[in-house]
Amino acid sequence: MTERNEKGASLQFPPTRLSRIYPAPRETVFKAWSTTEHVQRWFTPQSLSTPYAKVEMQAGGLFIVCMRAADGVEHWTRGTFTEVSPPDRLVLDLYAEDAGGRRLFRAFTEVSFTDVPQGTRMDVVQSYTLFDPAAAHMINGAPIGWGQSLDHLAAEIAWMHNEPHAAARSRIDLTASRSVVHSVFHLERTYEVTAENLFKAFSDQTAKSKWFSGDKGQWELLERQMDFRVQGRERLRGRWESGVVSTFDAIYHDIIPNERILYTYEMHLDDKKISVSLATLQFNPAGSTRATLRVTEQGAFLDGYDDAGSRERGTAFLLDRLGMSLQM
């Protein structure tokens, strides 16, 4: 997706990539996309309803969904299936529109279905073209919205399997299966500050609050605590524009001032634990007024939640925000 900044330069939005594992055959997971009734029950983030949908699963067939917020504001997605290859792959050319039918952005969506020992792995890749810069926040929030919708899909699959005990549970609690997906990533940045000042951006709550948060207007701070010492805890909770609450809950295990921080943390979406991670931060001088930060993170993504690299992209985004805060 492309946005224009104040100088007219083109800004690229990375595709949204998500994966889920569902304890069902590919034919069943594929079928959950096939009718208006199925899609209307699961294709919506938390806190929104779906008063209208139309699904014609064939090449050139319509895919239309209306999502309604609690305040009555409607968000429309309209488009067509461009590829239907059961039970392997779907491609949809979708457009987000306002209530008046004006296009806000294009969301080209590719969905693949793969047999795995636990059932079916479904991968979603959505790429964007922005038409209205005011809608950029909607694309930035797409990974969270998709994550909630795919949790709802788990409930629909349970219903399709005629599992009353599962369908009676909260939709957010209906994960695909008990599973763990591991990932490791490394990031490196060099900043125009000393190692001492860079370390302070992680160790001082006031300094960290300048960059370690969501964007104003899209994220509301609910709780922030920081006890920076070995065995101390840090906790950050915030509510996104969609209504979902994310929680970062960390414990510090090793601190060497101006050199190293090692901590573990859990991430929750609402009451659902989605991951447990080990993070190592290393601070190294890169001259008299510059310092390099090396980040290594090992993550375990739980019970059908596979972020397909979004955690790495999110961390990279925060490191860019850190750089901007250091220039203030």
Q: Could you report the per-residue pLDDT of 139-187, keeping only the tens digit for each?
A: 988 988 898 899 889 888 877 765 433 333 333 344 445 678 888 999 9
From CA 130, how far away is CA 124, in angstroms rounded? 19
**Do 122 and 49 belong together in one domain?**
yes
**Do 267 and 307 belong together in one domain?**
yes
Asked whether 153 and 32 are in contact (CB, 8 A), the reply is yes
Range of the domain at 314: 181-326
Asked whether 171 and 155 are in contact (CB, 8 A), the reply is yes
pLDDT in tens, 192-220: 999 999 999 999 999 999 999 887 777 88
User: What's the pTM value of the predicted model, to 2 decimals?
Assistant: 0.54
Q: Domain tally for the chain?
A: 2
**Do 171 and 288 belong together in one domain?**
no
Q: Is 321 helix (H, G, I), strand (E, B) or coil?
A: helix
**Do 166 and 262 belong together in one domain?**
no
The pLDDT assigned to 161 comes to 60
Confidence of residue 4 (pLDDT cuts 50, 70, 90): very low
Bigger pLDDT: 156 or 26? 26
Q: Which of 148, 176, 204 is the last residue of a domain?
A: 176
